[in-house]
Chains A and B, each alone.
Chain A
């Protein structure tokens, strides 16, 4: 955020925690990456020490980095039949539960991202903790430091299956009672797994496998020309009068 403390914050963090944190500041937003083992000690210090005083935990969310920077539509190379049609790929809109992609041994898929706010210093800090094990992602719980994180951790557990060690009540929160799977994982199909309907014969709501077909309307693609340098140059060039 646009306050003068942000860069000073990165310096203070580096001075206090040294090698424990990997600090980067982009657009005045400071991000610190740390290992799960250090989280509790660092978080306690961030809350209590007068140089930081992050009294509020604003947000915690999970991320699944599976498929980061993978595209469905290759725009770099062209074959004799033209560009790729953009119909291949493994984005979550393209598969159902039975044909979901299996883990490709991507190291460290899951991360928990925390946003802290210091009201006294008027600054924000982002902490990112990667889970070491993809099959059983575990991060220490922050509930003893900021009790308000309780539901955010439940949400991350529900949607990503990240287990928060030490959480007093790690239940599902947003999904249905008895839901199977962690729906925000990138290998969970967008169309879901089951659908419900009322069955007049059994006189109750029943679960069935989904009947809709997965489909993607716009393929995912990465273009570097859209870093807007070119756009600015074009605007300056005033192409309309060319």
Chain B
């Protein structure tokens, strides 16, 4: 009989299930994976090197473009690292705003994830439902920063500006008119916080809808239950964090264990999985959306009751207001210095991590006292997760690789940096 030999297959980098630009070289035995070798770097832009070449503040926008579905969480890690070295702390209201937007970002990310993962595994409808709510939350991004995705909203010392008192409304157009227009504007009568309150009251029922479509779905369970099982030991060996680690039953969440911003003051639970398979990680992420919703509700309540400054009053770091600049020479000089030279950060090094939706997003910042960072290293959760691909998919079927790529929640902006 003729000897049957393994063959090599190329997957990506242009493949709808590759979540961007993943290229996988797989050695197959029939339809079983013998070895998988991910090739990454097709989206490498050298963000860290670019950050070394410009003043600190000018790199905040690059952080949005790393993990481009959890923008503000990336900013948060970078901004916190700068604040740590400067020894400043954002005002309480800014901390609450950051907490709230981190959670909005988490919901945005998980919606994207649940939609695209379901799409990969053959469920089209979830994607459409998930993008409906994503749109509503992106309006918050836009209302607060002017940009739907790449906000550059967090700044060292606080946030760029306070929440808008009036949520922008839709105008009449061929696409939005009559009762439809009235309906979509009904949440937008008041401030952004009113809008978010209406959203958070409504959102749990929307999560129920996604669960209705997936949680008990026979096909979904066949594709995810028992697939890509990761033991707690394996997860730790491979440096996994976030839902990948919690899905394996390790109760580890930086928001609880090493709280930053205002996470110590808000009430929420950490969901953990039992079996460590793709289905458990799905359940963990869905529950995280509900918990994020809870946190947003608490932040909205606090923010409504407590007006105040959202930026430190320290003109060496944060610019003075336009009004002050026009009145006062010194404010003018501060503004000029900040926007031409930037601020110098005292020499030292720090590692600041946040619980980004995908896992631990860390920023290792080394400063030699200059107005530009000496070294910025961004620890992307997806990079660590993807490196375990070969170990985990060996022995699985080809179709399970797609389920695994989905469950890693990969975004190549952060993997390749």
Contact residues of A with B, CB < 8 Å? Answer: 1-3, 26-27, 29, 31, 55-59, 61, 63-64, 68-69, 71, 91-93, 113, 115, 119, 122, 124, 126, 146-152, 155, 172-176, 183-184, 190, 216-218, 220-228, 230-232, 234-235, 239-240
Contact = CB atoms under 8 A, between A and B. Distances in A.
A136 B401 CA distance: 38
Contacts of B383: 151-152, 155
Contacts of B343: 226
Closest 8 CB pairs of A and B: A148-B239, A151-B387, A226-B344, A231-B316, A148-B238, A174-B41, A61-B377, A59-B379
Contact of A240 (B53, B324, B344): B324
Given A115-B351, A115-B362, A146-B239, A231 B314 contact: yes
Contacts of B342: 218
Interface stretch (B187-195, B292-300, B366-374): B366-374
Nearest to A158: B41
Nearest to B87: A228
A146 B237 contact: yes
A223 B41 contact: no
Interface of B: 40-41, 44, 46, 48-50, 52-55, 84, 86-88, 236-241, 250, 252, 257-258, 313-317, 324, 328, 330-331, 340-351, 353, 360, 362, 364, 366, 368-372, 374-375, 377, 379, 383-384, 386-388, 391, 416-417
Given A27-B350, A220-B372, A228-B316, A119 B258 contact: no
Given A147-B237, A147-B238, A221-B341, A59 B40 contact: no
A122 B257 contact: yes
A218 B314 CA distance: 22
A148 B230 CA distance: 14
A225 B337 CA distance: 13
A56 B236 contact: yes
A182 B10 CA distance: 27
Contact of B387 (A3, A148, A221): A148
Nearest to A26: B348
Contacts of A231: 314-317
Contact of A226 (B316, B324, B360): B316
B258 A92 contact: no
B384 A151 contact: yes
A226 B362 contact: no
A218 B364 CA distance: 23
Nearest to A184: B49
B364 A57 contact: no
Given A151-B387, A226-B343, A221 B370 contact: yes
Contact of A59 (B48, B54, B351, B388): B351
Contact of A175 (B44, B346, B360, B379): B44
A92 B373 CA distance: 13
Contact of B351 (A29, A232, A235, A240): A29
Given A69-B368, A151-B384, A184-B48, A223 B257 contact: no
Contacts of A122: 257-258
A225 B328 CA distance: 21
A58 B258 contact: no
